[in-house]
């Protein structure tokens, strides 16, 4: 039975992709197959691309799209290229209008083996996919007022909440660390070096291996 580790974030530049890289590398060394999925949710209403150039996301003409083409996914500078470099069996990029998330997620599942571990980056999809482990990450220097509206609800459901303490930035004075939340500079330390996180992942992998051996 497929297991899912999800990564959600408060804002862009919070550290979601870096966290995903840590998790992919660790799990690839212990289990196979590992799929890396980036889930991008767009508005149902068309809007011009802020970059003013052809864009895989903003040019979405369908209700949703699955991107599996390696030439697209491994373009320099793309988050999906960083996923691929971490060594998963495959990288899949799902782009979906918000109203079509259930259909997009159902379609995604037809492209992933039942015995796979999926490491998925994306916030909106977490309420639908019901991950087996859920990570939430926010950056130490970005004010809570700029966080996504879903922050409080996803934090409540998360197994681990991480403040990415970027060393070149001071902590924003409005950020308050709650009990159980972790401070870690993701550029300096892999989250899988943290015992409680590593133990949870190992337990999940063990349960997946047990299911696959039946």
Task: Count how many Cα atoms sit within 13 Å of the Cα of residue 167 in the half-sphere of its side chain.
Answer: 5
Beta bridge partners of 163: 138, 183
Handedness of CA 106, 107, 112, 118 (dihedral sign): negative
Q: What is the pLDDT of residue 210?
A: 83
Q: What is the pLDDT of residue 28?
A: 97
pTM value is 0.91
Cα-Cα end-to-end distance for the chain: 11
**Nearest CA-CA partner of 57 in 117, 12, 2:** 12
Q: What is the pLDDT of residue 77?
A: 86
Q: How far is it, in rounded angstroms, from Cα 191 to Cα 202?
A: 13
Q: Say if residue 14 is exposed, middle or buried (CB neighbours under 10 Å; 0-12, 13-18, 19+).
A: buried
- Kindly list the structural domains of the chain, giving each domain's residue range(s) and its CATH number in brackets, ordered by start: 6-213 (3.40.50)
Q: What is the pLDDT of residue 149?
A: 94
**Nearest CA-CA partner of 29 in 210, 205, 211:** 205
**Mean per-residue pLDDT pooled into runs of 10, the chain (214 residues):** 95 96 97 97 65 49 87 92 97 96 96 96 95 98 96 97 94 94 96 97 93 71
If one counts every other C-beta atom within 10 angstroms of the C-beta of residue 101, the result is: 21
Q: What is the pLDDT of residue 46?
A: 57
């Amino acid at each position: 039975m497929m297991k899912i580790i999800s990564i959600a974030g408060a804002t862009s530049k919070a550290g979601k992709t870096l966290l995903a890289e840590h998790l992919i590398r660790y799990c690839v060394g212990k289990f196979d197959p590992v799929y890396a999925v980036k889930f991008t949710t767009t508005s149902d209403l068309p809007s011009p691309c802020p970059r003013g150039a052809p864009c895989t996301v903003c040019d979405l003409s369908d209700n949703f799209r699955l991107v599996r083409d390696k030439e697209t996914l491994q373009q320099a500078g793309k988050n999906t290229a960083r996923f691929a470099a971490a060594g998963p069996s495959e990288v899949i990029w799902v782009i979906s209008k918000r109203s079509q998330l259930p259909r997009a997620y159902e379609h995604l599942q037809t492209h992933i083996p039942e015995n796979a571990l999926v490491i998925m980056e994306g916030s909106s999809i977490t309420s639908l996919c019901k991950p087996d482990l859920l990570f939430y990450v926010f950056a130490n220097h970005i004010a809570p007022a700029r966080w996504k509206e879903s922050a409080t609800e996803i934090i409540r459901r998360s197994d681990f909440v991480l403040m990415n303490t970027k060393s070149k930035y001071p902590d924003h004075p409005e950020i308050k660390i709650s009990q159980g939340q972790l401070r870690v500079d993701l550029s300096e330390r892999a989250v899988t070096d943290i015992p409680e996180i590593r133990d949870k992942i190992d337990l999940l992998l063990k349960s997946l291996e047990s299911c696959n051996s039946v």
